[in-house]
Amino acid sequence: MSPSGPAEPRRRRFGIGFFFRTLGLIFVVVVILGLVYLLYPRPMLQSEPIEAPQAAAQVDHLRPVSDFDNIADLRARSVALFEEAGRVIQNPRCMNCHPRSDRPTQTDAVRAHTPWVSRGFDGGGEPTMRCSTCHQNENIEASGVPGNPLWHLAPIEMAWQGKTLGEICEQLLDPARSGMSREELLHHMAEDELVGWAWNPGGDRTPAPGTQQEFGAIIAAWLDTGGACPQ
């Protein structure tokens, strides 16, 4: 069995051609699988309504005025009423706009407002950096920026931060500092629209306790009982 005639060319089973054919086949398979993945029908993303603000059931109510009737001493009753009102007055929603400096604070942590802003001549910001640069007439859910048509800081004479509840009480009753008579003070607390924002702060801000109506009733009863201040 010796070889005779021209030798048959040796067939290379795993030659370079085979390698490229396999590579080409893998490439075609990957492209087909990729196209199947890309073209496979799937639901389009739909816009969804933003979740409604927190449920009313979570309201942390203020004590009703009748709860204080059993305090016989009128002055003690008045002080107790103001201390209940203090739960609202010393809430971050109120304190943040009654800062001790020209800069408002923000969040439940009562930290400095970002960006840097200053009260300006009317409490509505500096002429070149007005509150309305960012704050609209209503809370904006998309950005989380709170708002109200009257958005502005309390005057510096009405700074509450760093003061005791008793000091705030004395300040409220002093027309030279509050700029308000007792009737105007009651209106500010019970009916002012910007004050009312504290119970509807939007975003993830914690509302002031109770409702503005409950708070107004407490303030009215406090003034009716002589407007006594805690020590």
Q: Applying CB under 8 A, which residues contact other proteins?
A: 47, 114-118, 126-130, 132-134, 136-137, 140-145
Q: Please, what is the minimum distance in Å from the beta carbon of residue 135 to other proteins?
A: 8
Q: Which is nearer to other proteins, 117 or 219 (CB)?
A: 117
Residue 105 is inside which H or E element, if any? strand 105-106
Under 8 Å between Cβ of 201 and 195: no
Q: Please, what is the minimum distance in Å from the beta carbon of residue 195 to other proteins?
A: 23
Q: Please, what is the minimum distance in Å from the beta carbon of residue 50 to other proteins?
A: 8
Q: Please, what is the minimum distance in Å from the beta carbon of residue 104 to other proteins?
A: 13
Q: Which residue has the tokens 């209503």?
A: 138
CA angle 189, 195, 196 (to 5 degrees): 100
Q: Please, what is the minimum distance in Å from the beta carbon of residue 43 to other proteins?
A: 20
Q: Which is nearer to other proteins, 137 or 213 (CB)?
A: 137
Structure token pair of residue 22: 């396999």
Question: For residues 118 and 105, what is the distance between their CA atoms, to the nearest angstrom?
Answer: 11
Q: Which is nearer to other proteins, 113 or 187 (CB)?
A: 113
Q: Which is nearer to other proteins, 69 or 204 (CB)?
A: 204
CA distances from 215 to 76, 81, 104, 144, 224 (A): 19, 10, 23, 26, 14
Q: Which is nearer to other proteins, 125 or 196 (CB)?
A: 125
